[in-house]
Structure 1
Amino acid sequence: MNNQGCERMALEDKITTLPDDILLTILSLLTFKEAVATSILSRRWRYLWTSLPSLHFRYEYVVQKDSRDNSLQHYHKVHGVYEDRCIQMVNQVLRGRKGQELQEFGIHYPLLERSTCHIDLWVAFAIAIGVSKLELNFSPYPYLIPICFDKNYSIPLDLFDKTKGMEPFLVQLEHVFSIPTSYLKVQDRFKSLRELILKFVDLTDEHFETILSNCTSLECLHLNHSSRLVNVKHTAPHMKLSCLEIYHCSKLENVEIFAPNLVSFKYRGSKIHIFVKDANQLVNLCMSSYWEGELEYPRENSLGLPYMQRKDFVFGQFADYLSRLEYLMIDVASFEGKQGFNKVPLFSNLKHVSLTCLNSSHGPSGMLHCYHTVAGFVKASPFLHRLELHFHLAPIKNPELRRIAISPHRYLKEVLVSGFFGNELAKDIVLSIFDFATELEKIEITTLCLGDLSKRPFKNPNADIEVVRRSIGQLHQRLPANAQLHFLGDHF
């Protein structure tokens, strides 16, 4: 063995002799997958990663490289041998921790209702051990076709109710994971919980109220694809909640929340009734509704509420907060034609606006209306710093863009355009921005669509990269003197 190899082995031996807390600090600087990989280094390292203060078990750690396969055969693997492997991995790690403190716990695998007995125990463990962040992400993997009769997991209501005991779960925790009750924070089990993220987990209206009533330290609640929510309310003041996100809850008709320190509210779904009470700290608002069609409004109207008008979905329901907003994301269909558009109030603090629309030309969700919306926001937001435009579909027609007179805007420095197909109308809209953004410093353009915060960026297969690059070249020639154009392609 050469001298370099001997020196490397000596260094590895010195690292191995360090105390566990220092080694865990080193592991915490790695990704979870990299930390797990250190288990092959030596006997000392084999189980060290299981003592990390943050544990997130992900789909890609379990499933082999055929993960892009969306066949029925692969589906049965994911919910068969791979699912068993995932459950076994989680159980084995929790069994080895012996009640050590845990700050974050997350499961990122498309588990279903049939795994309830295991998931219940994991959630009970996380709550009883006093985690600050709990994430259950049971989203179907992007390349996996879900089977319609599969049911989502639902959390036992008793786990989030202080008035109910945890005795049945405590007995199982001691029996399955060998964790004695003395290690658990049963009485103060919600005191540490700051962030709760639930994706493809079925909750009822009672779940929503129980969680907020009992988790008084909760700062961020994220709900995604919870299909049983209809009329969610929390009318008592929740003093800690600063971030509430609700996405794609198909039966939801009404939301009422009283959170005086709410800073950020994000919603995507049908146009429903939303009442946010006395949120004087609210500065970030994302209100993205579905396009015109059968999903624009709730499928059922079990509460008998009047249908929400497009022009009132944002500007009516959040009228008291508009002047305070610093970030606003909406779809252009929130404006019912120019009449509603002309009533845009003054956004005296708005620094960042993000607009989503289809890439069709006409209609309330089209690019022509998007252009008018841009003009309105630029006029109404004197301190706007960043503008984002997100297009979703391939263009159908390219009508002529009739320019609107817009005064020079000195504060607009950054622009992002996603879902860019290089069509004439999209290019003309960007050129119009060059005309009024006299102090523009940077514009980023990508073919990926980034307009849905609840999903990963996605690529539209209809994009012609040659057309896109040709349009990018033409935009380069018209670029303002001090600005830089970055074409991000399919990467972001």
Structure 2
Amino acid sequence: VNSEPKDWISELPQCILVDIVNLVDTKDAAKTSTLSEKWKYLWTMRPDLKFDHHNLFGSNHEIRKFRIEQYHFDFVPYRSEFVKRVNHIMQQHCEDTCLLSSPIAPGDFRGLSNLTTLKLESVVMEDDFIASVFSNCLLLEDLTLKTCDSFSKLLVVGSSLRLVHLKVIRCLKIVNFVISAPNLTTFEFSGNVLLLSSLEAPSLEKMYIYVCGGSGIPHAFNLFTNLPRFENLYLTLPIDLRKVEGKPKSLGSFRNLKQLELFYGGDSELTWLLSILNALPLLQNLSLMFCIERIEEDQTMQGINVGGTTLDQLKHVEMGGCVGNWYEIEFAKFVLRAATKLEKLVITPVKRYYLGDGEEFDLSLVSSWPESDRARVHGSLKGEVPAGIQFIVL
């Protein structure tokens, strides 16, 4: 009689064994290849592989503690070993990879024909590196470049590109940036928008743009003109626009854009804000974050020159970062008068700032304002609210 216990786990169907392997980290998953012939290649069927310092090489927490805190993943002492392992492993069924905070230039991507998602953060690379990624990773759909300051030229161009999502966040040394991507639906860019010389993306629906100064606003809107499906914009204007010389010119008309989230540096006449709203005749949802943190000394209700601004389609408005300045109240009055289809108006001191790549920062000095200020704002507006509109001062 064979007294050895039967290996019941190995008798399970392959799909269940793959699910088991997916429950452990990459290093332990690779170890299962030594169990038996049946297990030899199971781990290569994982849909994602995580290559960090701990998984590949182990760690010495006492010695490496500072370095681990300072750098997300540090491959410098192990470059040759890391590249060799990645080139071997990636030739399997890997579809998703993420290289974070590596100060070395990645090797070529010839073994990554199945790659669909790539994120590079603080990675040193040459100007032609991204072109080599696109030429080798023909299935790439999601690309994120974050704080990669070693390259100056970024060309995302090609009629055969499958790229759907592109994020270029705080890559501050780019001086030549061109995009021509037929399948791109979402785009995030934080940097000098004046350097984005061309944007051709007929499928683009959603965009986040950080604009450094007033001169960048017309340029940014010029880039939006050839985007027939563009409906959702997050626009960050962090500077005090009162310091920008000159008044805004016409920004054209963007008939498809329906949702705008605007972080507004502010000018008490709201000239830039009104110019932007004039360009969006079909706007339905507006989230406006004021970034001026102080009460203006002159609280006289001076009125706002709204010109020909119309808000015919506007339904929902949230005004955040409010401190009770007169122009905040006047803008709310204008919305209540001009937005004939308005359903809801919310005014709050809470101020959130989107940093790109899913990061959001709460800039609120307070989560609620003094009751006297809240009562003053509410009292100034309650008589202006038409019947049927939900009016909330948080």
Same-fold call, TM > 0.5? yes
- 1: CA distance between counterparts of 2:236 and 2:15? 48
What amino acid is aligned across from residue 234 of structure 2 in structure 1? Answer: M
- Structure 1 position 136, deviation (Å): 3.5
- Give the secondary structure class of the aligned counterpart of 2:257: coil
CA RMSD of aligned residues (A): 3.9
- Give the secondary structure class of the aligned counterpart of 1:465: coil
8 A contact 1:260–1:280 mirrored in 2: yes
- Structure 1 position 255, deviation (Å): 0.8
- 2: CA distance between counterparts of 1:203 and 1:329? 29
8 A contact 1:271–1:313 mirrored in 2: yes
Partner of 2:47: 103
What amino acid is aligned across from residue 255 of structure 2 in structure 1? Answer: S
- Structure 1 position 240, deviation (Å): 1.1
What amino acid is aligned across from residue 311 of structure 2 in structure 1? Answer: H
**1:269-418 mapped onto 2 (5 Å cutoff):** 269-276=191-198, 278-290=200-212, 309-316=215-222, 318=223, 320-321=225-226, 325-332=230-237, 341-358=248-265, 366-368=266-268, 371-392=270-291, 394-395=293-294, 397=296, 399=298, 400=301, 402-405=303-306, 409-418=311-320
- 1: CA distance between counterparts of 2:188 and 2:391? 30
**1:156-171 mapped onto 2 (5 Å cutoff):** 156-158=106-108, 160=109, 162=110
- 2: CA distance between counterparts of 1:403 and 1:131? 57
Are 1:195 and 2:139 matched, yes or no? no
8 A contact 2:18–2:45 mirrored in 1: no
- 2: CA distance between counterparts of 1:480 and 1:126? 64
Are 1:154 and 2:116 matched, yes or no? no
- Give the secondary structure class of the aligned counterpart of 1:157: coil
- 1: CA distance between counterparts of 2:29 and 2:145? 27
Partner of 1:451: 354
- 2: CA distance between counterparts of 1:315 and 1:344? 6
- 1: CA distance between counterparts of 2:84 and 2:284? 48
Partner of 1:231: 153
- 1: CA distance between counterparts of 2:349 and 2:98? 30
Partner of 1:460: 363
Give deviations 1:89-124, integer Å, cap 9, x for gaps: 653354347524222345798223546547646754
**1:134-153 mapped onto 2 (5 Å cutoff):** 134-138=97-101, 152-153=102-103
- Give the secondary structure class of the aligned counterpart of 2:369: helix
Q: For the structure 1 residues 208 and 411, does the alpha-carbon distance in structure 2 shift closer, same or farther, using more than 3 Å as the test?
A: same
Would you tell me which structure has more helix in proportion to its own residues? 1
Give deviations 1:203-244, integer Å, cap 9, x for gaps: 321221111121111122111111112112244434312222
Partner of 2:62: none
8 A contact 1:393–1:460 mirrored in 2: no
Q: For the structure 1 residues 193 and 90, does the alpha-carbon distance in structure 2 shift closer, same or farther, using more than 3 Å as the test?
A: closer
Partner of 1:92: 28
Which region of structure 1 is more displaced relative to structure 2, 448-457 or 332-341?
A: 332-341
- Give the secondary structure class of the aligned counterpart of 2:359: coil
8 A contact 1:260–1:277 mirrored in 2: no
Partner of 1:484: 390
- 2: CA distance between counterparts of 1:244 and 1:216? 15
Unaligned residue ranges in structure 1 (runs of 5+): 1-17, 26-47, 56-88, 139-151, 163-185, 293-308, 359-365
**1:58-69 mapped onto 2 (5 Å cutoff):** none
Partner of 2:341: 439
Are 1:131 and 2:83 matched, yes or no? no
Using the aligned pairs only, state the percent identity: 20
- 1: CA distance between counterparts of 2:351 and 2:16? 41
Partner of 2:9: none
- 2: CA distance between counterparts of 1:483 and 1:269? 39
Are 1:244 and 2:150 matched, yes or no? no
TM-score with structure 1 setting the length? 0.59
Q: For the structure 1 residues 284 and 320, does the alpha-carbon distance in structure 2 shift closer, same or farther, using more than 3 Å as the test?
A: same
- Give the secondary structure class of the aligned counterpart of 2:289: strand
- 2: CA distance between counterparts of 1:282 and 1:459? 28
- 2: CA distance between counterparts of 1:393 and 1:334? 8
- 1: CA distance between counterparts of 2:30 and 2:302? 60
